[in-house]
Amino acid sequence: MQQKTIAYIGLGSNLSDPKVQVSNAAKEIADITNCRVIALSSLYLSKPMGPQDQDDYINAVVSLETSLSALDLLNALQKIENSAGRVRKDNRWGARILDCDILLYGNKNIDNERLTVPHYGMTVREFVLLPLAEIAPNLSLPDGTSISSLASEINCNGIVKL
């Protein structure tokens, strides 16, 4: 029997009806084989990172229990992104139809060419920390840093809980 791991997935969209994109992604994540959704945060409206000449984002975080490896989970999430119409571009901070990021995978540190966990920017992104703290207020990063303390100290940048 494979070991179960709790993973946290950040969702974001600012194209093609973002609320629908994020909601549909959460439903599709629930259908991934060997995964069980534990919680889904509220939706949050946030300013874009990088170029400001794009629409605001809708963000959320999903927690799930999985027996998939981190890379198998990444493959499943990228399949969801691709089926939504995600096109990967060189413009890292540009508009996107759907983004599904593995924020945390158990208490593991992962660093390879396809995946970095904890997600490299999560500790400075209000659109990650606030929904994450909402569904997992007692969660800590692998180094012991409290998600709630990070969330309470971050500049909210006008984020709105919907």
Is the distance from CB of 30 to CB of 74 less than 8 angstroms? Answer: no
Q: How far does CA 46 lie from the centroid of its chain?
A: 14
Is the distance from CB of 44 to CB of 156 less than 8 angstroms? Answer: no
27, 9, 147: which is closest to 68 by C-alpha? Answer: 9
143 catalytic, yes or no? no
Among residues 17, 88, 99, 143, the one annotated as catalytic is 99
Among residues 17, 36, 101, 111, the one annotated as catalytic is 101
Contacting residues for 52 by C-beta, under 8 A, at least 6 apart: none
101 catalytic, yes or no? yes
Q: What is the dihedral of CA 71, 77, 82, 85, to 10 degrees?
A: -150
Among residues 36, 86, 125, 143, the one annotated as catalytic is 86
Among residues 96, 111, 125, 143, the one annotated as catalytic is 96
31 catalytic, yes or no? no
Q: Residue 29 in 3-state DSSP?
A: helix
Tokens of 41: 């945060």
Please tell me the distance from the alpha carbon of residue 32 to that of residue 34, in angstroms, as a whole number: 6
Positions marked active-site: 86, 96, 99, 101
